[in-house]
Amino acid sequence: MKFVVDCGILDAVVSVSRRTGLVSRVELCPVGAADRSGCSEVPRHLAGFAAEIADFVSSGGNERPSIEAVDLYLLSPFALKALRHIRDGIPPGAVATYGEVARAIGRPGAARAVGRVMARNPFPLVFPCHRVVRANGGVGGFQGGESQEAVSLKTLLLANEGVVLDIPGM
């Protein structure tokens, strides 16, 4: 099952596990670009989560969505450690590099592994991976890609939090 949350500057497509009833994935897309075929109304037990996602965006990243509604068992221990760090250690309006995150979680030299975790993050906004950028000051990829749309979404989220990067290249 899936449903779409209108977040004002973007849409969030939320997938829900039929087995657990927990959120199994959140995919962000430009306003109006969400594939709404097969979408349901927001389930009653996830109404608060849906509102929290929209509040995160409208507050410039200051209102954090709860992690209780997401299926954390989908994440490896390393991924969970990296994602918890970006959630708790990088405030709205700030960024960190992949290498800085690796060092902060006690894994210096694991910048590429952190990059893979960010690329595969199934819960953007809950774990705000858009706040992790390249060491050269570039935006880097988002949601597993470096397409113009992916980079535009990441840049939009950063700008929404007041971050403007000099982008020497994608």
Known catalytic residues? 129
DSSP letter for each residue of 49-93: HHHHHHHHHHTTT-SPPPSTTB-GGGS-HHHHHHHHHHHHHS-TT
Residues 40, 2 contacting (CB under 8 angstroms): yes
Helices 111-120 and 77-89 cross at an angle (nearest 10°) of 90
Cα–Cα dist 35/4, whole Å: 9
Contact by Cβ (8 Å): 63, 16: no
Residue pair 65/53 in contact (Cβ under 8 Å)? The answer is yes
d(CA 71, CA 30): 25
